[in-house]
Amino acid sequence: MIRICFVCQGNICRSTMAEYVFKDLVRKEGLEKDFLIESRGVIADVGSDIHPGTKSMLDKHNIPYSKHIATQLEKNDYEKYDYFIGMDNYNVISMKKLFGTDKKVYKLLDFTKKSKEIDDPWYTHNFNVTYEEIDRGCKALFNFVKNNK
């Protein structure tokens, strides 16, 4: 089983979008039993649901999602997952500091030909760009993990 945790700041926008986009890719390939896919925040908006802008993008692209409760990343999560996928440099630095290592820690767009940070739509209000980047990153990550099982 491949265990992936998507990580952003508050676990209500980018990481949840990536979680459900990736779950949809896995579902369409019929590989649900081969993956555990979840999300966390480095400074989670604990207890909050998915941001309405994220829900809107998922709805627009016919990607199913369920009730979500924002959860903060904890040190003991390190043993639960094979990959921790951050959205920006702050997320990656926070995970390295929390875990004391950079093993298992990546930035989502590192798996694409154009590595960059995914801006937080909480501040940019541009959920369309966020979705496009997350979709591209999730497809590249999915191909990477399928080819490196």
Helix (H, G, I), strand (E, B) or coil at 89: helix
Which one is catalytic: 120, 135, 136, 138?
Answer: 120
Task: Give strand ranges (E) for 9-147.
Answer: 35-41, 83-86, 105-107
Q: What does the block give as tokens for 60?
A: 């627009």
| HEC secondary structure over 109-126 | HHHCCCCCCCCCHHHHCC
Residue of 5, 13, 14, 77 marked active site? 14
Known catalytic residue at 5: no
Active site residue 8: yes
Can 120 be counted among the known catalytic residues? yes
Question: Partners of 6 in the beta sheet?
Answer: 39, 85
Q: Give catalytic residues, as residue numbers.
A: 8, 14, 120
